[in-house]
């Protein structure tokens, strides 16, 4: 009799425990988000964290699978990124959205590959991030893809005949785009008259590079750089009275959100980017409104990439039936199987993935007219 009671009690306990476990765990999937939240690259990290948070809140409001983001700061430093990675994994993360910037991402990807943890980087665009690693996927374009697409666009629309380039040789992003651009431009018969480098993120004086472009007679200057140095280039070109067509890539997006920036400087600037906060489609408008309300800023493409990244992960998690119980190793294999089959209609276009981890989506070209982006058809 006693044995009987003990058995019943044990059974009851086991049942309630599993019941508790399912009720609690089916929901909360933990995602590690790593990026620079402080320091010089903090703009990008905070945008990613904010964009991811908006997506997670939307998904959690739907009920069903719940997402919890474990956000860690890597200060755009490879060593600190590894620490951040270890912290989120210790905190129970099952896969990673990150990291945001290229060099820390390469370091973390190497370790995640060893430990079989899935990574989806919203914005680290170097091919080095995904090379030889089946567990790393990108939401953003690769650098070469942007360079190639820019050259095609310039050739197709006959935007310029003599092309000057100003790029940051200390930055893998900028150099990668420039190299692919030059190769494609030569192939298409565009004349690259001069390529001028600068070697530091802190560089503030571009008078020499601009003079070289001016003296070489460049009528289009390609700027595969971020918008902060680009804003300086535009201001200095104006004071030199040099007015070629400036053509930027996704790093140029955000120039109009620069507080205090004189938008007339950017008049006629063209840029190739998958996302623009000025876009008029409903989805983008809703996202921009939510973002502005929550964080008081206009979202840039990093925020949009992170938003799309969370939705891609969410879709893959549902398709693969990943629960809170799934170990990071198992989740990794399941997600690797899922990603090449995904079709996401996101803020940054229609996304699909190659098995290499590279994304395919259509870039748009915008022209800045009167302080707003106008899509070029």
Partner 1 sequence: MISLLSYLCNGISLGSVYAIIALGYTMVYGIAKMLNFAHGDVIMIGAYVTFCAIQYLGLPPMVSVLLAMVACTLLGVIIERLAYKPLRQASSLAVLITAIGMSYLLQNVALLLWGSNPKSFPSVVNLGSLSFFDGQLLISGETIVTVVMNIIIMVGLTLFTGKTKMGKAMRVVAEDKGAAELMGINVNLTISITFAIGSALAAVAGVLLCSAYPTLMPTTGSMPGIKAFTAAVFGGIGSIPGAMLGGILLGVIEILGKAYISTELGDAIVFAVLIVVLLVRPTGLLGKPVREKV
Identity of the residue, 9 or 40, whose beta carbon is nearer to partner 1 in the bound complex = 40
Identity of the residue, 76 or 184, whose beta carbon is nearer to partner 1 in the bound complex = 76
C-beta of 40: minimal distance to partner 1 in Å?
Answer: 5
Identity of the residue, 149 or 265, whose beta carbon is nearer to partner 1 in the bound complex = 265
Asked if residues 146 and 363 have their Cβ atoms less than 8 Å apart, the reply is yes
d(CA 174, CA 182): 12
Asked if residues 193 and 163 have their Cβ atoms less than 8 Å apart, the reply is yes
What are 363's two structure tokens?
């870039």
d(CA 60, CA 279): 26
Identity of the residue, 239 or 280, whose beta carbon is nearer to partner 1 in the bound complex = 239
Place of tokens 């997006």: 253
C-beta of 235: minimal distance to partner 1 in Å?
Answer: 6
Identity of the residue, 209 or 364, whose beta carbon is nearer to partner 1 in the bound complex = 209
C-beta of 50: minimal distance to partner 1 in Å?
Answer: 12
Provide the phi-psi class of 132: left if phi over 0, else alpha when psi is between -120 and 50, else beta.
left
Asked if residues 301 and 253 have their Cβ atoms less than 8 Å apart, the reply is yes
C-beta of 205: minimal distance to partner 1 in Å?
Answer: 5
C-beta of 302: minimal distance to partner 1 in Å?
Answer: 12
Asked if residues 174 and 182 have their Cβ atoms less than 8 Å apart, the reply is no
Identity of the residue, 19 or 208, whose beta carbon is nearer to partner 1 in the bound complex = 208
Q: What is the DSSP letter of 122?
A: S
Residue 132: closest CA among 110, 101, 107? 110
Residue 373: closest CA among 225, 271, 261? 271
Footprint on this chain of partner 1 (rule: CB under 8 A): 38-40, 42-43, 46, 169-170, 196-200, 202, 204-205, 207-209, 211-212, 215, 228, 231-232, 235, 239-241, 257-262, 297
Identity of the residue, 202 or 282, whose beta carbon is nearer to partner 1 in the bound complex = 202
d(CA 346, CA 332): 23
Place of tokens 């893959």: 316
């Amino acid at each position: 009799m006693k044995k009987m009671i003990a058995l019943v009690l044990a059974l009851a306990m086991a049942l309630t425990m599993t019941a508790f476990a399912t009720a609690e765990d089916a929901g909360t999937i933990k995602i590690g988000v790593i990026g620079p939240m402080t320091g010089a690259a903090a703009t990008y990290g905070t945008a990613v964290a904010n964009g991811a948070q908006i997506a997670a809140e939307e998904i959690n409001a739907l009920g069903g699978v719940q997402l919890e983001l474990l956000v860690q700061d890597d200060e755009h430093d490879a060593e600190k990124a590894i620490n951040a990675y270890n912290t989120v994994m210790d905190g129970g993360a099952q896969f990673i959205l990150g990291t945001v910037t290229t060099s820390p991402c390469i370091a973390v990807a190497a370790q995640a590959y060893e430990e079989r943890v899935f990574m989806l980087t919203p914005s680290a665009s170097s091919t080095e991030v995904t090379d030889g690693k089946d567990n790393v996927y990108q939401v953003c374009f690769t650098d070469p893809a942007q360079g190639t697409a820019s050259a095609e666009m310039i050739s197709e629309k006959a935007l310029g005949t003599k092309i000057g380039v100003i790029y940051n040789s200390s930055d893998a992003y900028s150099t990668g785009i420039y190299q692919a651009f030059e190769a494609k431009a030569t192939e298409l018969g565009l004349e690259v008259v001069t390529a001028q480098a600068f070697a530091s993120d802190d560089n503030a004086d571009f008078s020499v590079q601009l003079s070289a472009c001016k003296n070489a007679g460049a009528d289009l200057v390609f700027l595969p750089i971020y918008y902060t140095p680009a804003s300086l280039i535009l201001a200095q070109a104006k004071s030199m009275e040099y007015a070629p067509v400036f053509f930027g890539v996704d790093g140029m997006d955000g120039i109009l959100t620069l507080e205090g920036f004189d938008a007339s400087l950017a008049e006629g600037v063209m840029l190739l980017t998958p996302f623009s906060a000025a876009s008029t489609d409903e989805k983008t408008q809703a996202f921009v409104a939510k973002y502005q309300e929550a964080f008081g800023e206009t979202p840039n493409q990093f925020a949009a990439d992170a938003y799309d990244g969370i939705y891609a992960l969410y879709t893959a998690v549902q398709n693969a039936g990943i629960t809170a119980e799934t170990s990071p190793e198992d989740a990794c294999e399941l997600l690797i199987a899922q990603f090449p089959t995904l079709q996401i209609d996101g803020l940054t276009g229609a996304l699909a993935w190659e098995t290499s981890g590279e994304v395919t989506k259509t870039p748009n070209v915008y022209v800045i007219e009167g302080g707003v982006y106008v899509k070029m058809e």
